[in-house]
Structure 1
């Protein structure tokens, strides 16, 4: 594989990672509420999902999502339902936190998130997103040739994963440094409210997305 192709892919992947989307909002929600470890586990979930999507793209299975309107519809609705569910949970937490803050001046969001829950929240947010499948289906033909091995394709996925890890790790550190602000009950209520609305918006947008067929 040509080194220039790798650099070009990294540039494209970087633009994809830093653009506003569900991953960034998930990290922004998770770190103030559950800490840096939960945020990092979200990121590991993102990366695991990338390898799943890449594997499906390499073996051609993801083409079903593009060529079959019914399969695409089912897959995108699953992803949309999950994003909306995250949003609804955040709104419920915001409502509970508001009531708790008013009555006891102590937020209801101090419960810990298990490592498994944090990982799978990040994993499912990405593995159920058909846009990630489309990215790999579109990217691989542009940056690798038919003569390249599957290892070259996985090298691109690894590059994408490294960019993803570095960007969101930096975000986790920045959010953690303003902990005095983010740990307040009112901030958590506000954060859950905004996050809930944003994820419901992402889910609705995904549900309305049309197949590229």
Structure 2
């Protein structure tokens, strides 16, 4: 059991570094926090966390190795991800100033345009699920870090932790960005941050296919 604890601590540390690094998930959650408010950003974070189970699932059955070692499949995967990031970026770049400036943080939250909860979850899920970097992360995790002799249920437990930890991190980020002080700081110029996230998403898309 001590071997599994050491393995888990290694996984937890590597995941902490990976999830805290800016990437498509970070950009989308920030964008939804600014554009749609805390509630939608939290559901987007949930979608990102649920996508972890997708990566864990195909890693457990060896599909991540197939994706990595099949050039045309990996290329197709990368272009699909880049196309989706550009689609999200276009929406962010089209953001503009609010018609009626809200007076308080509470009013600001109410006056934000909304998207549906299923769409918010779907955006988070697809953003993480289509990310080839995540595929490579889980490939290295399940081939180099996790021992091949580790029982299936232990590996599944690792996956549950990774999903919960990812969700918790982005929920915390969503909460932080939507606190009254941060909302007041962003204020009426929040659409510029939204546009910045759009530029970052395009940069990430270009990086995927370069």
Q: TM-score range by the shorter chain?
A: 0.7 to 0.9
Q: Superposed, which structure 2 residues align to 1:198-213 within 5 Å?
A: 198-208=200-210
**TM-fit CA distance, 1:105:** 5.0
Name the counterpart of 2:28: 26
Given candidates 185, 192, 202, the residue that maps to 1:181 is 185
Instruction: Encode CA deviations 1:7-26: one digit per residue, 9 max, x unaligned.
Output: 01100000001111111121
- Residue 17 of structure 1 corresponds to 19
Shift of the alpha carbon at 1:48? 1.4
Q: Provide the rounded CA distance (Å) in 1 between the counterparts of 2:32 and 2:84.
A: 16
Give, in whole Å, the separation in 1 of the partners of 2:73 and 2:22.
27
User: 2:63 and 2:170 mapped to 1: Cα distance?
Assistant: 29
Structure 2 Cα separation of the partners of residues 105 and 45 of structure 1: 31
Does the CA contact (< 8 Å) of 1:62 and 1:137 recur in 2? yes
CA–CA distance in 1 between the matches of 2:22 and 2:131?
15
1:149 Cα deviation after fit: 2.6
1:139 pairs, out of 138, 141, 162, with 141
Q: Partner residue of 1:115? A: 117
Hey, what's the Cα distance between the residues in 2 that align with 1:148 and 1:113? 42
User: Residue 191 of structure 1 corresponds to which residue in structure 2?
Assistant: 193
Contact 1:54 1:133 in 2 (8 A): no
Distance in structure 1 (CA, Å) of the matches to 2:207 and 2:132? 12
Partner in structure 2 of residue 165 of structure 1: 167
Pairwise CA distance, 1:120:
0.7
Distance 1:142 1:29 in 2: 34
Q: Give yes or no for contact 1:22–1:125 (8 Å, CA) kept in 2.
A: yes
- 8 Å contact from structure 1 (residues 80, 203) kept in 2: yes
Distance in 2 (alpha carbons) for counterparts of 1:143 and 1:195: 33
CA shift for structure 1 position 143: 3.3
Residue in structure 2 matching 1:130, options 113, 129, 132 = 132
Question: Post-superposition shift, 1:61?
Answer: 1.6
TM superposition score normalised by structure 1: 0.86
> 4+ residue runs of structure 1 moved beyond 6 angstroms?
none
- The answer as to whether partners of 2:33 and 2:177 remain within 8 angstroms in 1 is yes
What do residues 78-107 of structure 1 show as CA deviations (whole Å, max 9, x unaligned)? 001101111111112x2xx25xx5xx5559
